[in-house]
Structure 1
């Protein structure tokens, strides 16, 4: 992270430290800075854009439009599960992924923050950041 990004990034409060945590992110009780998703601090995945700029995903986005519908949620949840505190992935979807975000919140261990980076009409982009792992 650059010095400028470090100065402007807020930390997120976390729960008590859990011994033996295997998250690899410094432990559950260690405050982690929120990732600066516009500077590429996220899990990098290959995504291809579509022809129109309004509907084009950004490099590194997990563009679910390229994943068969029946596999989308499992693929995103697998990617989100692999994040350690302080990491994020940006999901690009053809609609607001409210059901998917609720599923992540309910079914994946740890705490997450969701930030809409773009709200349609052709493309929604949401940053999913892991704040704690357990």
Structure 2
């Protein structure tokens, strides 16, 4: 369960961006997240392909929680766990 209270300061609505810019913006935000922080992604479709891309580039370094699952609006909280290691160094489980 997520305990984050959504506020506009930590919400990115990518529906306003041209599709070619969406993943780059999201990856920038993920890279800038401090441990324990999160943001809410708002999209017009299920961003599941983005999840797989993030997992490939940042394995086990982020959390992904659906807050709303369409059909018109999808909201996902993406966070960096407090125990996440920096510089992409993943700890083996």
Output the TM-score relative to the length of structure 2. 0.79
* Alpha-carbon contact 1:91-1:125 (below 8 Å) kept: yes
**Superposed displacement of residue 124, structure 1:** 0.4
**Superposed displacement of residue 122, structure 1:** 0.2
Structure number with the bigger relative contact order (C-alpha 8 A, sep ≥ 6) is: 2
Give structure 1 regions of 4+ aligned residues with deviation exceeding 3 angstroms.
Answer: none
Aligned residue number for residue 133 of structure 1: 85
Aligned residue number for residue 37 of structure 1: 4
In structure 1, list runs of 5 or more residues that go unmatched. 1-8, 10-34, 45-59
Distance change in 2, residues 1:103/1:36 (3 Å): same
Cα shift readout 1:12-65 (whole Å, capped 9, x = no counterpart): xxxxxxxxxxxxxxxxxxxxxxx732254xx92xxxxxxxxxxxxxxx420010
Structure 2 residue 74 is the aligned partner of structure 1 residue 124:
yes
Between Structure 1 and Structure 2, which shows a larger proportion of strand residues?
Answer: 2
Aligned residue number for residue 19 of structure 2: 69
**How far, CA to CA, are the matches of 2:71 and 2:41 in structure 1?**
15
**Superposed displacement of residue 110, structure 1:** 5.8
CA RMSD of aligned residues (A): 2.2
Larger radius of gyration: 1
**How many aligned residue pairs are there?**
84
Output the TM-score relative to the length of structure 1. 0.56
